Amino acid sequence: MKTKLIFGTLIVLFATSCSHNQETKPQRKDIVDAVFASGFIANNDEYMVISAADGYLNKSLVKEGDKVTSGMSLFLLSNEVQSAQYATANANYSDAKSKNDANSAQIQQLKIQISQAKNQLQNDETNYNRYANLIKTNAVSQVDFDKIKLQYESSKSNVSILEKSLSDLKRQLSLNETNALEQLKIQQRNNKDFNLTANSNGLIISVNKKQGEFVKRGETVARIGAGNPIIKLYVAEEDISRVKLNNKVVVSLNIEKQKTYNAIVSRIYPGFDSNNQSFIVEATFTQLPDNLMYNTQLQANIITDEKTNALIIPLNYLLNGDSVQLKDGKKAAVQKDIANNEWVEILSGLTENQTIVISKKQ
């Protein structure tokens, strides 16, 4: 029966004799070359909830493990200065809106004055027309006619002035309402900074602040995992060149080490991560584990090569990296391929029927 060997696994491949010269024969095995990596479960759209204002965490509406939806309120901050500014802006807008109403006291007062002025103008116009007819027959003096005419023209001017005053008042009151509304909108936007919401659907992974604590502008309050879970792997510098996109990955989660899950390499970060002193590789599960918990630590083997029925020998039988000693004392040049600290694959130069030895002089 063929045995599948994972690269890096410590397995005794051969039985050896106890004679002066240890000897063995090459064997056929199914072999797997793999790069070991450690890592954890993350999300492909993970993001931070960051405060845009200074304030105390007045109320936490969520906790770790809660599912959230886009736009959902998560944390409420309090700030006395902002609350006062919002209250003032709201009061100013309510006052400006009330004054700009068609039934406001200022507008009604001017409308009454205009109505009275128009009534006066109507009386003065009647008198003026009557005196205009009488002056033609010298029934009234010129002085009396001029007095009536002056009164009539004054009434017309008064109505015009009052109507213009009403128009100016309405325009000013409308402008005041618009300005007050803009100020209220500014304070409403500022108020939103004190209501921290979710940018998208996801899961609360961690909360960094407790209720009652002070939160600074730009400080992270929580971390949210959004989108599908992914595997983040740390790969050593000497191994990264062997990793390719779509390589198979065998994953063992620390929370259930008895099971393994399959994944594929989906992304290779181009730069070296100095914080972790490794390269970062992402992998995607081919089938999601049940009850997957984010941030779970894991171990993985990234399969870089698989061979069926490969010819292998123990590594310590290899001389100078390119030859072996045969039982008859001769040396045979060999071509090797996959190797680890236990064994090496032989591509040519040996057969299964040849016996190789290790001399005590080695």
Q: Closest Cα partner for 317 from 289, 283, 342, 348?
A: 342
Is 0.85 surpassed by the pTM of this model?
A: no
Q: Closest Cα partner for 196 from 173, 217, 171, 170?
A: 217
Q: Are residues 53 and 141 both part of a single domain?
A: no
- By the 10 Å C-beta count (0-12 exposed, 13-18 middle, 19+ buried), 299 is classed as middle
Q: Closest Cα partner for 281 from 301, 295, 296?
A: 301
Q: Are residues 98 and 167 both part of a single domain?
A: yes
DSSP letter (8 states) at residue 288: P
Q: Are residues 92 and 144 both part of a single domain?
A: yes
CATH number of residue 340's parent domain: 2.40.30.170
Distance between alpha carbon 145 and the CA centroid of its chain, in Å?
85
Q: Are residues 236 and 313 both part of a single domain?
A: yes
* Span 273-306, pLDDT tens digits: 999 899 999 999 998 888 788 889 999 999 998 8
Q: Decide: 31 and 174 in contact? Cβ < 8 Å.
A: no
Q: Are residues 236 and 353 both part of a single domain?
A: yes
Q: What would the two tokens of residue 54 be?
A: 């200074």
Q: Are residues 248 and 263 both part of a single domain?
A: yes
Q: What would the two tokens of residue 240 be?
A: 């990264």
Q: Are residues 71 and 19 both part of a single domain?
A: no
Q: Decide: 224 and 66 in contact? Cβ < 8 Å.
A: no
Q: Are residues 177 and 270 both part of a single domain?
A: no
pLDDT of residue 361: 56
d(CA 179, CA 201): 37
SS3 253: strand
pLDDT of residue 235: 96
CATH number of residue 217's parent domain: 2.40.50.100
Q: Decide: 73 and 197 in contact? Cβ < 8 Å.
A: yes
Q: What would the two tokens of residue 284 be?
A: 């995607």
- Structural domain range at position 107: 81-192
Distance between alpha carbon 130 and the CA centroid of its chain, in Å?
84
Q: Are residues 287 and 300 both part of a single domain?
A: yes
Q: Which residues of the chain have pLDDT under 70?
A: 1-21, 359-362
Count the Cβ atoms, other than its own, within 10 Å of residue 149.
16
Q: Which amino acid is at 294?
A: Y
Residue 28's beta-bridge partner residues?
311
* Span 174-189, pLDDT tens digits: 999 999 999 999 888 8
Q: What's the chain's average pLDDT?
A: 88
Helix residue spans in the chain (DSSP H): 80-99, 105-136, 142-192
- By the 10 Å C-beta count (0-12 exposed, 13-18 middle, 19+ buried), 267 is classed as middle
pLDDT of residue 291: 78
- By the 10 Å C-beta count (0-12 exposed, 13-18 middle, 19+ buried), 313 is classed as buried
Q: Are residues 236 and 345 both part of a single domain?
A: yes
Q: Are residues 39 and 132 both part of a single domain?
A: no
- Structural domains counted in the chain: 3
Q: Are residues 260 and 274 both part of a single domain?
A: yes
Distance between alpha carbon 51 and the CA centroid of its chain, in Å?
14
